[in-house]
Structure 1
Amino acid sequence: MSVSQCACCPVDVDPPKGYTMETVPTLVNEDQVWSDEKHLSLTFPTSIQTLEKDLNNDPEVVKFLATDYGCCSRFRVMSNEGSRVLDHVIDSLEKYSKSCPRIPKLIRGATFRSEFLNGMGHSSAVLRHVSLLAGCELIYHPMKIHQLHVNMKPNDSSTSTNNPVKKNVDRWHCDSTPFVLIVFCTDPDEYTGGTLQFFNGPKEEGLRILTAGNGLPADRVKNVGRQDKGFGVFMQGWRVFHQVTPVLTGDARTTMVFSFYPRNVLALEACAHLSQTYAPVDPLYIIMPDWVRFRAWKAARRLEMLREKWDDFTLASKNFTDNDLITLIDTTHAKLWRIVKSLPYTDQRQLFTSCLRESIEDLKTFLLATYPDKISCAHLLSAKEPALDTENIDPATSGLTLSVTSVADLEDTEVGVFGKKQPLLFGLDAEFLCSPLGVSNLMGVVEDIENCVDDVITLQEEESKLVYF
Structure 2
Amino acid sequence: MMKLPTNLPTYATGLKQVLTALRAKPPVCGINPEDFEWQTSYAIQQDSNNLISLKELGYSLKDYEDSILAMTSFKGPCKILTNAGEILLREICLNLEIYARSSNFIISKRTRAADSHSKFIYDMIRDRNFLLNLSKIAQAPLIPHLIRNAATQVNYYYPEDDDCQDKKIAKWHVDGMNFVFNILLSDVAEFEGGDFIYFKGPASQFSLRQNDDLVMTSPSKHIGDTIYVHGSKVFHAVTPVTKGKRVSIILSMYCPYLPEMDSNTFWHVAGDDGVPATLKSWGAFKTAKKRGHAAYSSIGCAPITWEDLA
Q: Which TM-score tier does this pair reach, normalised by the shorter chain?
A: 0.7 to 0.9
Name 1:248's counterpart in structure 2: 242
CA contact (8 A) 2:28 2:101 kept: no
- Aligned runs of 1:43-62 on 2, under 5 Å? 43-44=46-47, 46-52=49-55, 54-62=56-64
Name 2:13's counterpart in structure 1: none
Letter in 2 for 1:196: F
- Aligned runs of 1:292-371 on 2, under 5 Å? 292-301=283-292
Q: Kindly tell me: are residues 17 and 51 of structure 1, through their superposed partners in 2, closer, same or farther at Cα, counting changes over 3 Å?
A: closer
Q: Structure 2: how far apart are the matches of 1:300 and 1:224?
A: 36
CA contact (8 A) 1:65 1:268 kept: no
Deviations 1:398-453 (A, max 9, x none): xxxxxxxxxxxxx79xxxxxxxxxxxxxxxxxxxxxxxxxxxxxxxxxxxxxxxxx
Q: Structure 2: how far apart are the matches of 1:126 and 1:288?
A: 30
Name 1:133's counterpart in structure 2: 137
CA contact (8 A) 2:51 2:74 kept: yes
Name 1:197's counterpart in structure 2: 197
Letter in 2 for 1:256: I
Name 1:116's counterpart in structure 2: 120
Specify the SS of the correspondent of 1:289: helix
CA contact (8 A) 2:46 2:137 kept: no
Q: Structure 1: how far apart are the matches of 2:269 and 2:124?
A: 23
Q: Which has the higher strand share?
A: 2
The reply to whether residue 107 of structure 1 matches residue 100 of structure 2 is: no
CA contact (8 A) 2:170 2:237 kept: yes
Name 2:267's counterpart in structure 1: 275
Q: CA deviation at 1:56?
A: 1.0
Q: CA deviation at 1:72?
A: 1.0
Q: CA deviation at 1:298?
A: 1.4
Q: Kindly tell me: are residues 122 and 222 of structure 1, through their superposed partners in 2, closer, same or farther at Cα, counting changes over 3 Å?
A: same
Q: Structure 2: how far apart are the matches of 1:275 and 1:230?
A: 32
Letter in 2 for 1:189: A
Specify the SS of the correspondent of 1:60: coil
Q: Structure 2: how far apart are the matches of 1:60 and 1:172?
A: 25
Structure 2: 5+ residue stretches without partners: 1-25, 300-305
Deviations 1:101-149 (A, max 9, x none): 1211111111111111111121212210121122221221111111100
Letter in 2 for 1:190: E
- Aligned runs of 1:59-458 on 2, under 5 Å? 59-63=61-65, 66=68, 67-101=70-104, 102-154=106-158, 156-158=159-161, 167=167, 169-206=169-206, 209=207, 214-215=208-209, 217-250=211-244, 252-265=245-258, 267-271=260-264, 273-279=265-271, 281-282=272-273, 284=275, 286-301=277-292
Over aligned residue pairs, what C-alpha RMSD do you find?
A: 2.9
CA contact (8 A) 1:64 1:267 kept: no
Deviations 1:242-301 (A, max 9, x none): 000011222x10110001111222543312x4123212x425554323221111111343
Q: Structure 1: how far apart are the matches of 2:194 and 2:86?
A: 19
Structure 1: 5+ residue stretches without partners: 1-15, 306-336, 342-410, 413-469
Specify the SS of the correspondent of 2:130: helix
Aligned pairs, how many? 272
CA contact (8 A) 2:183 2:225 kept: yes
Q: CA deviation at 1:166?
A: 6.2
Letter in 2 for 1:77: I
Q: Structure 2: how far apart are the matches of 1:227 and 1:46?
A: 20
Letter in 2 for 1:23: P
Q: More displaced, 58-67 or 166-175?
A: 58-67
Letter in 1 for 2:85: G
CA contact (8 A) 2:28 2:100 kept: no
Q: Kindly tell me: are residues 43 and 176 of structure 1, through their superposed partners in 2, closer, same or farther at Cα, counting changes over 3 Å?
A: same
Name 2:20's counterpart in structure 1: none
Greater RCO, 1 or 2 (C-alpha within 8 Å, sep 6+): 2
Q: CA deviation at 1:89?
A: 1.3
Percentage of identical aligned residues: 21
CA contact (8 A) 1:151 1:169 kept: no
Q: Structure 1: how far apart are the matches of 2:160 and 2:66?
A: 41
Higher Cα radius of gyration: 1
Q: CA deviation at 1:94?
A: 0.8
Name 2:302's counterpart in structure 1: none
Q: Which has the higher helix share?
A: 1
Specify the SS of the correspondent of 2:282: helix
Letter in 2 for 1:75: C
Q: CA deviation at 1:157?
A: 2.6
Q: Structure 1: how far apart are the matches of 2:94 and 2:222?
A: 19
Q: CA deviation at 1:240?
A: 0.5
CA contact (8 A) 2:154 2:250 kept: yes
